[in-house]
A = this chain, B = another copy of it.
């Protein structure tokens, strides 16, 4: 059976993810359509990887459609503009979306005979390029099984975490925890810096001890202590994700003082330091708050 896939949203993550699907199509006699709001990116993808530019007609033939967009609102726009979809298709949204959007989007697609999976990913651009992303899936198990071979094209692990929206929920909490660890480690280093402790040595200790995290091990040494702050994942997007986590806190009537505070601090950092800088540049606000440089 020849399978047609479409990939909508060719950003820093989407581009290599779609490339894996294109290679998969080339190896299995399938078709790999690509689309991007700014068309030049799609054209470049087609030229570089041999994917096919999507058209309204070809999208209507897609068996599985992937989207990877900045926010759930962007998917809402895309869905509103789509002319026709193949009944029986599956839509896999890899956006770091909002759990409240998922049931609404699933219902809208169900009316058109299309199944919906929320399937955000983690692993960064490195994981996307190497095809080793982690995919967290919300939705029906049967729908997941239908697309699993395709997910395997760019994923190292595919984990179903619950029903529609659960994927977005876990992604939002994961990113909120990224924000917590990043910020808290920054605070700790600021205090140590003001105490005259050598921060490189302190971080080496922490990374061999119980307070370590992905942020302390992989982000702060390479991005903050070096003063490089290379812009991969934007601070504005992390603030958005921490805000989604806080929406979840509120809509489930939960009590999560630390997640709540983190959302506030990330929002403040994005407003004061900037939205487009790397998310690790949130620590520049800590530096201002403490008149210290984390280096």
Most interface-central of A134, A165, A249, A290 (chain B CB within 10 A): A249
Given known contacts A174-B209, A201-B161, A289-B267, A258 and B195 CB-to-CB distance under 8 angstroms: no
Interface residues of A in 247-262 (CB under 8 A from B): 247-250, 252-262
| Residues in B neighbouring A257, C-beta threshold 8 A | 187, 257, 260-261, 264-265, 268
A256, B209: Cβ atoms under 8 Å?
Answer: no
B256 touches A264 (CB 8 A): yes
Asked if residues A265 and B255 are in contact (CB atoms below 8 Å), the reply is yes
A157 within 8 A of B: yes
Q: Which residues of B contact A211 (CB under 8 A)?
A: 173-178, 180-181, 214
A180 contacts across to B, CB distance below 8 A: 180-181, 184, 211, 258
Give 1 or 0 for each of A78-119: 1 = CB within 8 Å of chain B CB: 000000000000000000000100000000000000000000
B191 touches A256 (CB 8 A): yes
Interface of A (DSSP majority class): helix
The answer to whether A208 has its CB under 8 Å from any CB of chain B is yes
Contact B252 A195 (CB under 8 A): yes
Interface-central residue, A162, A185, A210, A216, by most chain B CB under 10 Å: A210
Q: From residue A228, how far is it (CB to closest CB) to chain B in Å?
A: 18
Report the minimal beta-carbon distance from A64 to chain B, rounded to whole angstroms: 22
CB-defined A-B contacts under 8 Å, sample of 7: A169-B197, A175-B210, A177-B185, A177-B216, A187-B256, A194-B253, A271-B289
